[in-house]
């Protein structure tokens, strides 16, 4: 059953952007301060749509995760599976999905109490993992990702009803101005930007390699950049970026010799579980949009030193 579509998108005709309908910080009243984020951080998140923590984890803590990623790239069975996406230009590994179910180390990281504490505070309660993935860009050849709002895709193709999800991006390698860091448009999350073009069946098979649908018009992008600018947080391995599900973001091709590998955990509120896709097609695979395991995450108490 799909409820009324409050965020219409993917139509043949162009539709104007409109103000978001949901709060940015979902914890209400006194619960707003029931967590590790102070009012300064909460206000920045409401204003910009993201928070940046340089060096959140130690580089030593991140090294085993990057080593594990390199081993995954040698796994021929994993590379042949649907959850592994190859680069459209080089054929090398671009993304691996459902990381928290492949690796115990990655699963435990999703339940790090410091991250979960912030996410629960921002989303106003318990959460589960909607999606997890690694995005990898090899030196000299890693392709970029076009401008998009995650929520626009998750709403249209997965049936996510409301804007009540957060992505936690953890840097496994250095992110610098040369190797294609994530770029965000501050304040863009305050609007829902409908995208033109009807979604074809099994769109995910192409869109994960190169996104063409779900990309805002250049006019809308220019207006939002004129208002908020573009920021590209950069830092060493272990840095953390929390960004709201409707914040527009993109990244350029990696033209440097250095790899850029980032881990993403998408936390969704247990009160915002998926309905039928609003685009009218069958649901995407579970490794892209978790429907089976939506129980609230419990914090992992036995973590390695930071």
Contact present, 103 and 158 (Cβ < 8 Å): no
Count of other CB atoms within 10 angstroms of residue 103: 19
In sequence order, what are the residues at sequence separation of 6 or more whose Cβ sits closer than 8 angstroms to the Cβ of residue 290? 128, 129, 130, 131, 274
Q: Which pLDDT score, from 0 to 100, does residue 200 have?
A: 87
Rounded to two decimals, what is the model's pTM?
A: 0.93
Is the pLDDT reported for residue 93 higher than 80? no
Helix (H, G, I), strand (E, B) or coil at 146: strand
Per-residue pLDDT at 209: 59
CATH 3.40.50.10420 fits 18-269, yes or no: no
Rounded to 10 degrees, the C-alpha dihedral 7/11/16/21 comes to 0
The pLDDT of residue 163: 98
The two counts, helices (H) then strands (E), for the chain are 9, 12
Nearest alpha-carbon partner for 195 in 5, 2, 8: 8
Residue 222: Cβ within 10 Å count: 11
pLDDT at 237: 95
Tell me the pLDDT tens digit for each residue of 165-205.
999 999 999 999 999 999 999 999 999 999 999 888 878 77
Classify residue 154 by burial, with Cβ atoms within 10 Å: 0-12, 13-18, 19+.
buried
Q: At what angle do helices 113-123 and 39-48 cross, to 10 degrees?
A: 70
39-47 long-range contacts, Cβ below 8 Å, gap at least 24?
Answer: 42/121, 42/122, 45/122, 45/242, 45/244, 47/186, 47/187
Q: What is the pLDDT of residues 29-42, one digit of tens each?
A: 999 999 999 999 99
pLDDT of res. 208: 65
CA-nearest of 127, 271, 133, 272 to 204 is: 133
Banded model confidence at residue 304, pLDDT cuts 50, 70, 90: very low
């Amino acid at each position: 059953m799909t409820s009324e579509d409050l965020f219409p998108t993917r139509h043949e005709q162009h539709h104007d952007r409109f103000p978001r309908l949901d709060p940015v910080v979902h914890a209400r009243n006194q619960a707003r301060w029931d967590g590790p984020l102070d009012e300064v951080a909460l206000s920045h998140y409401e204003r910009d749509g993201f928070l940046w923590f340089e060096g959140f984890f130690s580089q030593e803590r991140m090294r085993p995760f990057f080593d594990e990623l390199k081993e995954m790239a040698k796994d021929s069975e994993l590379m042949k599976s649907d959850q592994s996406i190859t680069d459209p230009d080089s054929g090398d590994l671009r993304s691996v999905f459902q990381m928290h179910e492949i690796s115990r180390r990655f699963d435990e990281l999703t339940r790090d109490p410091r991250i979960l504490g912030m996410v629960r505070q921002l989303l106003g309660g318990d959460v589960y993992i909607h999606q997890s993935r690694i995005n990898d860009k090899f030196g000299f050849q890693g392709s970029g990702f076009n401008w998009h709002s995650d929520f626009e895709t998750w709403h249209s193709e997965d049936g996510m009803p409301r804007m009540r999800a957060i992505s936690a991006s953890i840097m496994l390698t250095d992110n610098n101005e040369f190797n294609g860091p994530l770029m965000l448009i501050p304040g863009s999350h305050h609007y829902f930007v409908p995208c033109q073009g009807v979604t074809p069946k099994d769109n995910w098979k192409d869109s994960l390699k190169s996104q063409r649908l779900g990309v805002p018009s250049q006019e809308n992008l220019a207006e939002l950049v004129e208002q908020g600018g573009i920021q590209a947080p950069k830092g060493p391995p272990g840095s953390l970026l929390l960004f709201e599900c409707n914040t527009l973001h993109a990244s350029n091709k990696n033209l440097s010799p250095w790899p850029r590998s980032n881990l993403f955990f998408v936390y969704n509120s247990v009160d915002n579980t998926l309905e039928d896709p609003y685009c009218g097609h069958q649901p995407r695979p579970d490794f892209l949009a978790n429907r089976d395991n939506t129980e609230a995450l419990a914090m992992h108490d036995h973590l390695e030193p930071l």
